[in-house]
Amino acid sequence: MIFMTTERLIIRAFKNKDASALFDYLSSPRTPCFQDEKLNSLEDAIKEIDSRILDNSQFAVCLKETDELIGHLFADNKGESDRNTWSVGWHFNKRYEGKGYATESVTALFNICFLKKKPDVFMHMLKTIILPLRNYVLVSICDRRDVLKSLSRSHMIMV
């Protein structure tokens, strides 16, 4: 199932064929916050894909031309006492960093999930998981897309 497309990307549900690509970037996560997602084998990746196929908070980010998995996004509010509070994040294969794919896909995610469907939730209640070192990359991506223009930085939770 395709959730959205951008100029260069397809954001869709995970498919069984994504296991090898997922293993490629989760076999050695580069940031500590993703260590719990570390995959030790292709078999682990296949099991993880099976789990992500059933998880509607997980989104595969793929190149539009080839449908190759290059990373993933998540948006989840399970476990939050305030159902208007969301945790969002992403992880990309390092081979695709620096090409604007994170900016493009995160913008699409925010536009669809928050700005169009629940603008009040996005503007006032968004809880962003900021990765170690206060993930200035995330803040930079949001700033480039004017995502934070009217969102007070005091609403961003630094973890």
Q: Are strands 58-63 and 9-12 parallel, antiparallel or unpaired?
A: antiparallel
Is 90:129 a contact under the CB 8 Å cutoff?
no
Q: How confident is the model at residue 111 (pLDDT cuts 50, 70, 90)?
A: confident
- Which pLDDT score is estimated for 81? 74
**To 5 degrees, how large is the angle CA 104–CA 49–CA 80?**
70
pLDDT tens digits for 50-105? 999 999 889 999 999 999 999 999 888 787 777 666 777 889 999 998 999 998 99
Q: What is the pTM of this model?
A: 0.74
pLDDT over 50 (residue 151): no
- The residue ranges of every structural domain in the chain are 2-155
DSSP state string for 88-142: EEEEE-GGGTTSSHHHHHHHHHHIIIIIIT-HHHHHHH----BPGGGGHHHHHHH
Q: Which CATH number fits domain 2-155: 3.40.630.30, 1.10.630.10, 3.90.1300.10, 3.40.50.720?
A: 3.40.630.30
On the question of pLDDT at 133 being above 60, the answer is no
